[in-house]
Amino acid sequence: MARILVCEDSALPDGEAIKVEAPGEAVAVFRSNGDVYALADRCSHGNASMSEGYVEDDGTVECPLHAARFCLKTGAALCQPATEALRTFPVAVVEGKIYVDVPEAA
């Protein structure tokens, strides 16, 4: 695993998301109800950036393109048109900074 710096903890307000480029794929990092989550940035249904989606109070994010919703915690697809889950990544908040752990580049 490689640990990638996302941003200062204070730079990600509740209900917002930020995209980071990781080796192999982009990752979308979200904050919802104070907790931080990381999912694959590309929607499993099409070519949409989940970091541009709508973070809901119920711990989900809605795709900006066709409105599929995904669980921020598990990545599960919760409604059509998406049927496949988004990959999840571990996150850590250390000394005021948010990090995401991603697999090493092949």
> 41 vs 51, 69, 73, 95, 96, CA distance in Å?
6, 13, 14, 25, 23
Largest CA distance in the chain: 39
Q: Among 59, 85, 91, which residue's Cα sits nearest to residue 72?
A: 59
Residue 77 CB, shortest distance to ligand FES, in Å, is: 9
* Residue from 68, 71, 100, 102 in contact with ligand FES (CB under 6 A): 68
The interface mask with ligand FES, positions 15-54, x = CB under 6 A, is ----------------------------x-xx-x------
Q: How far is it, in rounded angstroms, from Cα 32 to Cα 66?
A: 21
85 binds ligand FES (CB under 6 A): no
Binding interface with ligand FES (CB under 6 A): 43, 45-46, 48, 63, 65-66, 68, 81-82
